[in-house]
Amino acid sequence: MTSTSAAPAVSVRPGERAVAVAHPNIALVKYWGKRDETLFLPVTGSLSMTLDVFPTTTAVRLIDGPADTVLFNDRPATGAALTKIEKFLDLVRAHAGRTDRAEVVTANAGPTGAGLASSASGFAALAAAAAAAYGLDLDGRALSRLARRGSGSASRSIFGGFVVWHAGEGDGAAGDLSSYAEPIGGGDLDPALVVAVVAAGEKAVSSREAMRRTIETSPFYRPWAESSVTDLAEMRKAVARRDLPAIGEIAERNALGMHATMLTARPGIRYLSPHSLAVLDAVLALRADGVPAYATIDAGPNVKVLCTRADAALVADTIDGLGDFVTTRTAHIGPGVTVTGGTR
Ligand code: PMV
pLDDT number for residue 113: 60
pLDDT number for residue 46: 98
- Structure confidence by residue, pLDDT tens digits, 219-274: 999 999 999 999 999 999 999 999 999 999 999 999 999 999 999 999 999 999 99
The phi, psi pair for 312, rounded to 5°, reads -60, -40
pLDDT number for residue 186: 77
Question: Tell me, what amino acid is at 63?
Answer: I
Q: What mean pLDDT is predicted for residues 51-67? A: 95
Residue nearest to atom 6 of ligand 1 (CA): 153
Q: Residue 116 above 80 pLDDT?
A: no
Residue 19: in which H helix or E strand, if any?
strand 12-22
CA distance 109 to 52: 11
The phi, psi pair for 17, rounded to 5°, reads -140, 135
Q: What mean pLDDT is predicted for residues 31-58? A: 97
Residue nearest to atom 10 of ligand 1 (CA): 298
Answer yes or no: are the C-beta atoms of 30 and 115 closer than 8 Å. no
What's the gap in Å between 1 CA and the centre of ligand 1? 34
Residue 48: in which H helix or E strand, if any?
strand 46-50
Mutate to test the pocket of ligand 1, among 23, 32, 112 (most ligand atoms within 8 A of CB): 32
Q: Residue 309 above 90 pLDDT?
A: yes
pLDDT number for residue 12: 44
pLDDT number for residue 2: 29
CA-31 nearest atom, ligand 1: 13
Domains of the chain as residue ranges with CATH: 10-188 (3.30.230.10), 189-331 (3.30.70.890)
Kindly indicate the confidence band of residue 139, based on its pLDDT and cuts at 50, 70 and 90.
very high
pLDDT number for residue 60: 97
CA distance 329 to 38: 35
Q: Residue 15 above 60 pLDDT?
A: no
Q: Among 27-36, 57-66, 104-113, 223-232, name the one with the lowest average pLDDT.
A: 104-113
Q: Among 2-6, 20-24, 73-77, 199-203, name the one with the lowest average pLDDT.
A: 2-6
Kindly calculate the radius of gyration of the chain based on its CA atoms and give it in whole angstroms: 20
pLDDT number for residue 109: 86
Answer yes or no: are the C-beta atoms of 322 and 286 closer than 8 Å. no
pLDDT number for residue 111: 66
Q: Residue 336 above 50 pLDDT?
A: yes
Mutate to test the pocket of ligand 1, among 37, 56, 153, 158 (most ligand atoms within 8 A of CB): 153
Q: Residue 6 above 60 pLDDT?
A: no
| pTM metric for this prediction | 0.93
Omega before 267 within 30 of 0, i.e. cis? yes
Residue nearest to atom 8 of ligand 1 (CA): 298
- Structure confidence by residue, pLDDT tens digits, 103-115: 999 999 876 665 5
Share of the chain above pLDDT 90, in %: 86
Pocket of ligand 1 (CB under 6 A): 27, 30-32, 46, 119, 151-153, 207-208, 298-299
Q: Where are the alpha helices (DSSP H) in the chain?
A: 3-6, 79-96, 118-133, 140-148, 154-157, 172-178, 207-217, 221-240, 244-263, 274-288, 312-320
- Structure confidence by residue, pLDDT tens digits, 156-206: 999 999 999 999 999 999 999 999 999 998 778 999 999 999 987 777 899
What's the gap in Å between 253 CA and the centre of ligand 1? 16
What's the gap in Å between 25 CA and the centre of ligand 1? 9
